[in-house]
């Protein structure tokens, strides 16, 4: 790459520390500078157009350049750009969105607390889980179980629940209260002759054995994404969640559904919990809640979770937690308008209607000589390549070739992942996969 002196590219290399790169060698390749977006497309600073096959970071449900969201943000900024919800203060936008989320929740929920990112929300759920165990007079009940390849963010607690070595190594994670069970990757890890139902029972038995080995009185909560996304898109078998929930109920372990990617239509229902029959105690929402036009996340909690926490705060005289930006008025106003758009334009229905085409095209890619498998549900999926000498090299090559063909998608290991805006059309789905097909032909 030629980098012109003083260009955005050069100043980016000079001044910015980026996530998920080799920092020392970042300057050798630098970054693609994205300048604007419209619908499912983004444009770079040379005017090239790309289909955003990952909706940014799995998040821009309503597409780019949605003026209803910029209009609502401007109106709210003009009226009240900032206020907080600490200590007996509140404002309309946070109340309106909290009410809407309680009404939408697929299982009865009592309260909403807003945060600004998925990591922050999961981190706070851990803190609240510990607070709750103390409130119940069970100070030993603090361990949290996540899953290998699960992704819940990068703060110290959320990063510890995440099951990806690259997010732990050299950061001194995970915390010693965190445990992990296997990823429900049936295609990749079923035993010979094992049915999906048998595999699900084995996953549940592994969880139960872990809880018993640790002691049920020490295990507080289990975190799971309905569909694992950032670990490489793993869709669990149909009976997996039913089996897991039965174990959690037997041992009085809370179920935290991390809906940060699945929430607001991604799996073909409004929430991933509906698609997979999950009845969580807590739901964590972010990304498509505001289409990431503003940083926003929400924790929805049921009575079983909330009530002991309320009791403890009464005993202590205060719930000792809060962020400056909790319930931010512009973010919550944008979130509500975004959800209205998702409902009015029936984007969940669009996901359901286009899913068969999306999955068929993914399955088609998996027939290619470089590919070995595909996974997906709704409008989220991945095609997995046969590995080259170095793990991840084939995925990286396909990501680069797809970008050259005008599609931005995300390689996770040797899987290329797709999660396009929910406004995508059938023609655009076809154009996206046609381009990725050409990219597959082009790699070595
Ligand atoms: N939970 C899930 C399921 C996610 O996919 C992500 C981010 O990709 C997070 C949590 C963390 O969210 P954030 O990056 O906003 O902190």
265 within 8 A of 248, measured Cβ to Cβ: no
- pLDDT reading at 319 higher than 90: yes
Residue matched to tokens 């793990």:
391
Query: Taking the CB of residue 386, how many other CB atoms lie within 10 A of it?
Result: 12
The average pLDDT across 335-354 equals 98
Atom number, ligand 1, closest to the C-alpha of residue 284: 1
**Quick one: pLDDT band at residue 5, thresholds 50, 70, 90?**
very high
Residue matched to tokens 């319930």:
327
**In this predicted model, what pLDDT tens digit does every residue of 32-51 receive, in sequence order?**
999 999 999 999 999 999 99
**Quick one: pLDDT band at residue 390, thresholds 50, 70, 90?**
very high
For atom 7 of ligand 1, which residue has the closest CA? 153
- Rg value, the chain, Cα: 22
- pLDDT reading at 444 higher than 90: no
The average pLDDT across 112-129 equals 98
Look up residue 289 and give its DSSP letter.
G
Mutating to test ligand 1, I would choose from 117, 260, 261, 278 the residue with most ligand atoms within 8 A of its C-beta, which is: 260
Tokens (6 digits) for 270: 């409004």
Rounded to the nearest integer, the mean pLDDT of the chain is 97
Task: Calculate how far, in angstroms, residue 261's C-alpha sits from the geometric centre of ligand 1.
Answer: 7
Atom number, ligand 1, closest to the C-alpha of residue 297: 15
Phi, psi of 84 (to 5 degrees): -110, 175
410 within 8 A of 417, measured Cβ to Cβ: yes
* Burial (Cβ within 10 Å: 0-12, 13-18, ≥19) of residue 54: buried
- pLDDT reading at 430 higher than 90: yes
- In this chain, the answer to whether the domains covering 32-62+346-442 and 70-344 adopt an identical fold is no
For atom 10 of ligand 1, which residue has the closest CA? 152
Task: Calculate how far, in angstroms, residue 118's C-alpha sits from the geometric centre of ligand 1.
Answer: 4
Task: Calculate how far, in angstroms, residue 316's C-alpha sits from the geometric centre of ligand 1.
Answer: 32
The average pLDDT across 7-22 equals 96
Top CATH class of 70-344 equals alpha beta
153 within 8 A of 117, measured Cβ to Cβ: yes
Q: Which residues on adjacent β-strands are paired with residue 415?
A: 384, 412
Atom number, ligand 1, closest to the C-alpha of residue 120: 16
> How many residues are there in the chain?
444
**In this predicted model, what pLDDT tens digit does every residue of 208-249 receive, in sequence order?**
999 999 999 999 999 999 999 999 999 999 999 999 999 999
Task: Calculate how far, in angstroms, residue 340's C-alpha sits from the geometric centre of ligand 1.
Answer: 23
Mutating to test ligand 1, I would choose from 229, 230, 295 the residue with most ligand atoms within 8 A of its C-beta, which is: 230
**In this predicted model, what pLDDT tens digit does every residue of 363-388 receive, in sequence order?**
999 999 999 999 999 999 999 999 99
Task: Calculate how far, in angstroms, residue 150's C-alpha sits from the geometric centre of ligand 1.
Answer: 10
- pLDDT, residue 271, reads 98
- pLDDT, residue 121, reads 98
**Residue 436: in which H helix or E strand, if any?**
helix 426-442
- pLDDT reading at 1 higher than 80: no
- pLDDT, residue 118, reads 98
CA atoms within 13 A on the CB side of 143: 19
Pairing of strands 41-44, 49-52: antiparallel
Q: Cα 413 to chain center, whole Å?
A: 17
Atom number, ligand 1, closest to the C-alpha of residue 228: 3
Atom number, ligand 1, closest to the C-alpha of residue 58: 8
Residue matched to tokens 């429900």:
184
347 within 8 A of 419, measured Cβ to Cβ: no
Write out residues with Cβ below 6 Å of ligand 1. Answer: 57, 117-119, 122, 151-153, 225, 229-230, 258, 260-261, 286
Strands (E), 21-142: 34-38, 41-44, 49-52, 111-115
Nearest to 64 by CA among 34, 20, 19, 93: 34
Top CATH class of 32-62+346-442 equals alpha beta
Rounded distance between C-alpha atoms, residue 267 and residue 273, angstroms: 9
Q: What are the Cα distances from residue 89, in Å, to 120, 297, 320? A: 22, 20, 16
CA angle 282, 284, 288 (to 5 degrees): 145
Q: Which residues on adjacent β-strands are paired with residue 111?
A: 301
Rounded distance between C-alpha atoms, residue 182 and residue 145, angstroms: 11
Per-residue 3-state assignment (H helix, E strand, C coil) for 130-155: HHHHHHCCCCCCCEEEEECCCCCCCC
Tokens (6 digits) for 314: 């009464």
**In this predicted model, what pLDDT tens digit does every residue of 259-296 receive, in sequence order?**
999 999 999 999 999 999 999 999 999 999 999 999 99
Pairing of strands 49-52, 407-408: parallel
What are the extents of the domains in the chain?
32-62+346-442, 70-344
Mutating to test ligand 1, I would choose from 117, 120, 153 the residue with most ligand atoms within 8 A of its C-beta, which is: 153
259 within 8 A of 283, measured Cβ to Cβ: yes
Nearest to 163 by CA among 150, 152, 145, 176: 150
Atom number, ligand 1, closest to the C-alpha of residue 295: 15
| Helix, strand, coil tally for the chain in percent (to 5) | 45, 15, 40
């Amino acid at each position: 790459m030629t980098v012109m002196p003083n260009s955005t590219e050069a100043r980016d290399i000079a001044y910015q520390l980026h996530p998920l790169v080799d920092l020392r060698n970042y300057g050798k390749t630098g970054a693609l500078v994205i300048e604007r977006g419209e619908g499912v497309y983004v444009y770079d600073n040379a005017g090239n157009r790309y289909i955003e096959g990952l909706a940014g970071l799995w998040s821009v449900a309503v597409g780019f350049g949605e003026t209803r969201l910029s209009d609502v943000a401007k109106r709210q900024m003009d009226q009240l750009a900032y206020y907080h919800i600490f200590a007996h203060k509140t404002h309309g936008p946070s109340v309106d969105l909290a009410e809407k989320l309680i009404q939408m929740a697929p299982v009865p929920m009592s309260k909403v607390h807003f945060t600004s990112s998925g990591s922050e929300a999961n981190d706070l759920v851990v803190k609240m889980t510990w607070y709750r165990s103390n409130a119940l007079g069970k100070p030993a009940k603090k361990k949290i179980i996540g899953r290998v390849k699960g992704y819940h963010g990068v703060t110290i607690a959320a990063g510890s629940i995440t099951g990806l070595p690259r997010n732990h190594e050299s950061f001194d994670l995970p915390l010693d209260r965190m445990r992990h069970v296997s990823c429900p990757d049936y295609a990749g890890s079923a035993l010979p002759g094992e049915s999906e139902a048998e595999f699900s029972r084995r996953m549940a038995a592994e969880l139960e054995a872990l809880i018993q080995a640790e002691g049920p009185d020490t295990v507080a909560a289990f975190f799971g994404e309905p569909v694992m996304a950032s670990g490489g898109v793993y869709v669990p078998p149909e009976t997996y969640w039913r089996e897991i929930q039965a174990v959690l109920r037997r041992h009085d372990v809370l179920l935290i559904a991390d809906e940060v990617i699945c929430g607001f239509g991604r799996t073909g229902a409004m929430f991933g919990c509906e698609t997979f029959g999950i009845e969580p105690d807590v739901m964590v929402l972010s990304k498509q809640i505001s289409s990431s036009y503003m940083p926003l996340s929400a924790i929805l909690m049921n009575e079983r979770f909330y009530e002991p926490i309320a009791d403890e705060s009464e005993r202590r005289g205060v719930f000792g937690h809060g962020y400056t930006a909790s319930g931010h008025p512009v973010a919550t106003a944008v979130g509500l308008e975004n959800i209205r758009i998702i409902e009015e334009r029936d984007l969940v229905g669009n996901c359901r209607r286009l899913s068969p085409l999306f999955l068929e095209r993914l399955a088609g890619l998996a027939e290619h000589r470089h590919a070995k498998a595909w996974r997906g549900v709704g409008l989220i999926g991945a095609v997995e390549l046969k590995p080259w000498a170095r793990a991840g090299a084939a995925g990286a090559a396909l990501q680069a070739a797809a970008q050259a063909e005008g599609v931005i998608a995300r390689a996770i290991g040797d899987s290329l992942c797709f999660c396009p805006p929910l406004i995508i059309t059938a023609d655009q789905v076809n154009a996206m996969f046609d381009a990725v097909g050409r990219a597959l032909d082009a790699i070595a």
